[in-house]
Structure 1
Amino acid sequence: MLEAIRNAAQGIVGKAIMTVVMGLIIVSFVIWGVGDMLRGFTASTVASVGGAKISAQEYHVAYDRMIQQYQRRLRRPFTNEEARQIGLDRSVLQRLLSEAAVDEEARKLGLNISDDALREIITSNPDFRDKSGAFDPARFADALRNMDLTERGFVSELRQQALRQFIVAALTTGIAAPKAEVTAEADYEGQTRSVDYFLLPAAAAGEIAAPSDEALKTFFNDRKSSYRAPEFRAMDVLALEPEMIANPAEVSDADAEAAYAKIAGKDPRFGAPEKRDLQQILYPNEADASAAEAKLKAGASFDDLVKERGLKPEDTDLGETTKDAMLDKTEADAVFALPQGGVSEVLKSQFGPVIVRVKGITPSTMKPFAEVADEVKRQVSASRAGDKIQALHDKIEDLRVSGKSLIEAAKAVGLTGQSIDAVDAQGLDPKGAPVNLADKAELLRAAFASDVGLDEAPINTKDGGFVWFDITKVDPAHDLTFEEAKPEVEKQWRAEEVDKALAGKADDLVKQIKAGGSVADLAKSAGAEAKSAQDVHRAEQTSLPEAVVAAIFREPADGAGSSATPDGRVVFKITADKTPPVDFADARVKAMASQLDSATRESLLDQYVEALRRTLGVVVHPEVLQSAEGS
């Protein structure tokens, strides 16, 4: 779980200075607010850069907002301990230090921004304008109230942000990555290789003798830290979902048929409607369209019309569509009345007159109503279960308040609770089998943020139901003993022995290939099938595993090698190596150059801010920082 949070942290926080670079002046305040939001916090200095000070209040506000953002994203409480484990406290401090360093430099340079310029920034913000586009003081005031800001505080922080932007612009305007770097990166990404290869299966390793206990213990001790049992939790669960209380008998045939007419073709459980692969020629006016229709009647083909209009086949392709997906009902009726290969007369579409050809037809697989009537009735009944769900919810809550356990409460209202002996955060039992749980992802997230004895509110499910849970036991994560880990140890030992044996055989085969041996002949002698892969790129998905692709590009242009895969070991010979000329007008090269330009500017700003911080001097007060975090 923490690893996932670490990944998220990299995208949200980024490098400290990029807040200055990429943040829009006004929007940043809408999102982050300013330092006068929190009242009554003890005024102390967390850190200083030169003469600029970061108060405990300022740090606490920034840190608390980041915590709240994580809570909204994770939809659960996010603690100080978790924040520290992913370095959120350090990231917030570094961002504030970087901003303070730039602010101090702006002060030393005597930079300022006029009130007129600030007024222009505020009045030009579309968030503060009415429908006519004019600045609306009432909207501006509402925005300040929503952000809990005073106008003076807002303007003060806006002035700082604007000055930061000016410094950033002065440093980065016109900065671009060197052309040689763009060329090298384009060459790297554009390079392709073709290979002949075959798979040496695990069976080719031969018989692996059973290991002794001593060998396994040595293997275990060398990797002891990797053998851990995850935290398991025992819990009682009570799910209350519309499907559980649905009663198909309460739904009339007429109501079910009406519902079926609405969902047939949209719900895959009841089949799919007919689809048609269409081509269309759009004409600028009725006269041109009528002239084209006359040519069709005189014997011209649809393809003739396409050629006459100077269109490519892909310019006319609409792809597959259902009748309901077409916006114009009259056009849809006409098109779906044509046979396969049929060409329509001039039809009126929302874009103008068109002529349509039916390129292909995929027949309907719709199930007849009689075949799915019971399922439709159950679905209709479930959709009507809202009042019943709420009534049962209230009864269950009353029973819990009176001291009943979840299992007892379930029984009292005619439901069946679920007692889970052990489940980890991934939803697996101690044997690695998945545990069946209602609303699994949300339930596990909430359950592993709870504890024994806590009375948690039920989880709201997407279909309007509820899931209650009580944690009854927590078995903490712990190191496994040799005896506990032995089955897994033996499995991994054997896998490594197989890989060693295959690697040895593969090395011998690679030597033969390098000496002039044929991949086809060597594959045949190994009882394997020789295959080829053309134009393999480093980063693009291919039929070859990622590890094999990486190995292919590690070898010389005419080299040979091998790489382990889940099924054995691939032996390969590179048969072609191509690097196309760099086309700087190509969209992919332009996008790559733009990314390199941004990285170059980011690197320059990093160096600039780091130099400022060294020159000005940074002082951090850990005890005030800890207090500001609320620990």
Structure 2
Amino acid sequence: MLSSIRNLARSPIAVLIIIVPVVAAFALFGINDIFTGTGNAVATVGSERVTLQDVSRTMQREVRRLQMENPRMTQQEADAAGLGDSVVNLLVAQAAISAQARELGIAATDEQVAEIIQSAPAFQSVFSNRFDPAAYAEWLRQEGWTANTFEAQLRADLRREQFVDAALSGATPPAIFSQLRARYQGETRTIRALLIPPALAGEIGTPDDETLESFIAGNEAFFTLPEQRRITLVRLNPQLVSPDVAVDEDELRELYDMRRETGELAEAPLRTFLQWVTPDEQTAQNIVERLNAGEDPAGISAATGLGDPVRLEDVEQFAVPDQVIGQAAFEMTQGEARAVQGRLGWRAVYVQAASDPEIPDFESMADELRTELAGEAAEYRVLDALAEFEDQRGRGATLEEAAEAAGIPLERFDFMTPDAFEISSGSPLMSIIREEAILEAATTTQEGFESDLTPYGEGGYFILRVDAVRPSELAPLAEVREQAEAFWRLRQIDDRLQDTVTEALSRAEAGESLDAIAASIPGTRVEETTLSRGQTAGPFTQALVGSAFRARENTPFEARAGDQRTRAVGVVTAITPGSGEPDSATRQAITEGYENDIVIALERALLDNYEVRINPELRDAALGRTETE
């Protein structure tokens, strides 16, 4: 949390653009100072506003980020876990910093904003590695920004970054902090453990139905099935169609030739060259001869009395005023000199630097261009198929009939959960598990009804019908017998081993050695190891090692070991502190934590200094808790 707050307060938007895959983190900055009025303000902090759009966009993107790790998480679950309130609190704290930075007159220049945008890899052409206005406009469209709002947000981020950097200047943590961390991290402990395996539980009988039903009822949280829905799905997108699209080789060659002629396949050639204005051809040839002999250009100018030559640096051919001179210069290589009769007379031309990027040949580009053409053709095919599909439905056809007439595949899913998990197969439905729009429609459409034709993914559309709904209920024994019996057996084994664990722990606490206890309990054994925090070895799992590092020296404790079914009674026999000499990673971690604490203290002070007002209705609407009117 400390790192996220500090990252929020500094300049994440620029980081976002540089590492485009982490788009979600950018949303935590919102748009605080570009709207007029207060009608859409979820919160106001002094003169700064956190708008409904800020909170809504941030919440949605943070939920998507969490779903990359846990696809089954819904926005409602994330909000219930505190994400919504955290988002609002972070945006409010960030607004407080913005307000203070504005009052202090801190500003970001147009040049700074332009430099970040034009140097961001996300906005550069894949062919020229230069800023591409089209790529910039497309990114803005996909992320839901306008150029004005995005650039205002970037300007605000830069202003906050300057303020926070100034506040952190000279913030150096005392050396003792790093030394204490090093001692803590480097500490090792010698652990002896009496291992009590599950085999000591003996034979576990087979439970009857009454026992299992009682066990299921007593463990309702584990055996309650969520609501399940059977759906019929019709969906189509260019990605599904493009593998079947044949690309005409002549069109492929035409596209390559066009891209090559327009310079889209590689960076444009560049030249840096000098040109002397001469009265005649002979004078131009004399200068060329002197240059070829290795004479310095500055000396040539002085000797001929022609004055300094005109120098053009890193120019493309179209930028050379005289097209004849430009053509000649781009025919020449670095270090070459030539007398050229331009449109305005003779010139001596000397190329100081030449850049001629290699243009990829047709064979190396064919697959990429073929994919592009197939994708474009697939988009048209999708639209044609959907037009036919909708025409059929308008005539009264069912989903099945319309899909068949349009040549669109029909999919049926038999009782899946809201997170796309199929109970009958016990596996996730990977083809739709990340399709948020489809899952939402599947869970909100009433039984027996169809959803609207809805866009999803990149250029795709879907429509579905909920054929049946099975409400949430406690699973019947017949459906979960195998799982219930396995769970019941584990519980019986654990209960039986607990008696042995309790006895062994009492004897160890009374001073009896673990070896003596093991000798009196057949099937147990004692093992010993020395480990640091986070290390594991054999039966010494993280659970056992963690318990050992929480225990006092020579004080017995119990823990789980191995596969978690094995029980253990352990004793820490020796504790060796770390050296106290921190490495660079430890120093860096301490410095970041120290700076985080300063930023948090700064935010709290600013929030105490400014009046903070929250609009609960707009906040809840932005977080998806209520419907907006």
Task: State the TM bucket, normalised to the shorter chain.
Answer: 0.5 to 0.7
SS of alignment partner, residue 442 of structure 2: coil
Distance of 1:140 and 1:437 partners within structure 2: 37
Letter in 2 for 1:557: E
Question: What is the CA deviation profile of residues 534-592 of structure 1, one whole-angstrom value per residue up to 9, with x for unaligned ones?
Answer: 333332354333222222323333444432353332344545543331222x3xxx213
* Match of residue 499 from structure 2: 504
Work out the CA distance in 1 between the residues paired with 2:40 and 2:236: 51
Contact 1:563 1:569 in 2 (8 A): yes
- Whether 1:454 aligns to 2:445 is no
Give the CA deviation at 1:620.
Answer: 2.0
* Ranges in structure 1 where 5+ consecutive residues have no aligned partner: 1-9, 248-384
Which whole-Å deviations, capped at 9, do the CAs of 1:103-142 have from their partners, x for residues lacking one? 44456xx62247xx735634654726999xxxx9997997
Match of 1:439 among 431, 447, 470: 431
For 2:516 and 2:75, how far apart are their aligned partners in 1?
60
CA contact (8 A) 1:194 1:577 kept: yes
Match status 1:617 vs 2:611: yes
Indicate how the Cα distance of structure 1 residues 127 and 183 shifts in structure 2: closer, same or farther if over 3 A, else same: same
CA distance in 2, matches of 1:78, 1:436: 13
For 1:454, give the aligned amino acid: S
Kept in 2: contact 1:422–1:430 (CA 8 A): yes
What code does the residue aligned with 1:171 have? Answer: A
| Cα offset, 1:243, TM superposition | 12
- SS of match in other structure, 1:441: coil
Once the two structures are superposed, residues 423-462 of structure 1 have per-residue CA deviations (whole angstroms, 9 ceiling, x without a partner) of 335665446x43585636346983455344225669889x
1:402 maps to which of 373, 383, 392: 392
1:148 is matched with 146
Is the alpha carbon distance of 1:504 and 1:102 closer, same or farther for their aligned partners in structure 2, counting shifts above 3 Å? same
Question: What residue is the counterpart of 1:422 in the other structure?
Answer: 415
2:468 corresponds to: 473
Matched, 1:595 2:565: no
Identify the residue that residue 311 of structure 1 maps to in structure 2: none
Residue equivalent to 2:118: 127
Paired residue secondary structure (1:402): helix
SS at match of 2:415: strand
Q: Does 1:20 align with 2:9?
A: yes
Aligned to 1:569: 567
Deviations 1:580-618 (A, max 9, x none): 31222x3xxx21332232222222222222232224332
Q: Does 1:189 align with 2:185?
A: yes
CA gap of 1:239–1:612, structure 2 versus 1, over 3 A, is closer
What is the one-letter code of the residue matched to 2:451?
Answer: L
Counterparts of 2:476 and 2:521 in 1: how far apart (Å)? 44
Checking the alignment, whether the CA contact within 8 Å between 1:427 and 1:444 is kept in structure 2 is no
SS at match of 2:547: helix
Q: CA RMSD in A?
A: 5.7
Q: Give the distance between the partners of 1:414 and 1:100, measured in 2 at CA.
A: 53
- How far does residue 526 in structure 1 lie from its aligned partner after superposition? 2.2
Q: Does 1:90 align with 2:85?
A: yes
1:604 aligns with 2:598: yes
What are the equivalent positions in structure 2 for 1:354-393 lying under 5 Å apart? none
Q: CA deviation at 1:625?
A: 4.0
Query: What residue is the counterpart of 1:362 in the other structure?
Result: none
- Give the structure 1 partner of residue 167 of structure 2: 171
The answer (yes or no) to whether the contact 2:422–2:428 under 8 Å persists in 1 is no
- Decide which of 529, 533, 536 is 2:531's aligned counterpart: 536
Contact 2:432 2:439 in 1 (8 A): no
TM-score, structure 2 as length reference: 0.55
The SS at the match of 1:47 is strand
Whole-angstrom CA distance in 1 between matches of 2:391 and 2:148: 45
Counterpart of 1:111 in structure 2 is 104
Secondary structure, in 3 states, of the residue corresponding to 1:540? coil
Please say if residues 240 and 389 of structure 1, whose CA atoms lie closer than 8 Å, have aligned partners that are also in contact.
no
Q: Deviations over 1:349-407 (max 9, x none)?
A: xxxxxxxxxxxxxxxxxxxxxxxxxxxxxxxxxxxx99999989976984686356666
Q: Distance in 2 between matches of 1:145 and 1:397?
A: 29
Q: 2:406 and 2:117 mapped to 1: Cα distance?
A: 54
Give the Cα–Cα distance (whole angstroms) in 1 for the partners of residues 112 and 390 of structure 2. Answer: 56
Counterpart contact for 1:199–1:569, Cα < 8 Å: yes
Per-residue deviation at 1:516?
A: 4.3
Task: Tell me the equivalent position of 1:550.
Answer: 546
Deviations 1:38-74 (A, max 9, x none): 79x973554333x4252xxx51231243255358756
3-state SS of 1:234 partner: strand
Offset at residue 204 of structure 1 (A): 1.5
Percent identity between matched residues is 22
Residues 180, 473 of structure 1: CA spacing in aligned structure 2 closer, same or farther, 3 A cutoff?
farther
Contact 2:556 2:571 in 1 (8 A): yes
3-state SS in 2 of match to 1:582: coil
Which residue does 2:224 correspond to in 1? 228
Counterpart-to-counterpart distance in 2, 1:456 and 1:175 = 57
Q: Per the alignment, do residues 557 and 446 of structure 1 end up closer, same or farther by CA in structure 2, a change over 3 Å counting?
A: farther
Q: CA deviation at 1:505?
A: 0.5
Residues 519/410 of structure 1: CA separation in 2 closer, same or farther (3 Å cut) = farther
Q: 1:79 to 1:557 in 2, by over 3 A?
A: closer
User: Residue 607 of structure 2 aligns to a residue in which SS?
Assistant: helix
For the residues of structure 2 that align with 1:144 and 1:417, how far apart are their CA atoms? 32
* Matched letter for residue 551 of structure 2: E
Counterpart check, 1:579 vs 2:577: yes
Does the 8 Å CA contact 2:190/2:572 hold for their aligned counterparts? Answer: yes
Q: In the aligned structure 2, how far is the partner of 1:444 from the partner of 1:118?
A: 40
Contact kept, 8 Å, 2:421 with 2:429, in 1: the verdict is no
Partner of 1:282: none
> Is the partner of 2:559 in helix, strand or coil?
strand
CA 1:175–1:221: 2 relative to 1, 3 Å: farther
**1:321-352 Cα deviation digits (max 9, x unpaired):** xxxxxxxxxxxxxxxxxxxxxxxxxxxxxxxx
Contact 2:518 2:526 in 1 (8 A): no
Distance 1:216 1:111 in 2: 70
Given that residues 418 and 442 in structure 2 are in contact (C-alpha distance below 8 angstroms), is that contact kept between their aligned partners in structure 1?
Answer: no
Give the aligned partner of residue 66 of structure 1: 58
Q: Distance in 2 between matches of 1:53 and 1:443?
A: 36
Whether the 8 Å CA contact 1:233–1:424 is kept in 2: the answer is: yes
Whole-angstrom distance in 2 between the partners of 1:418 and 1:103:
51
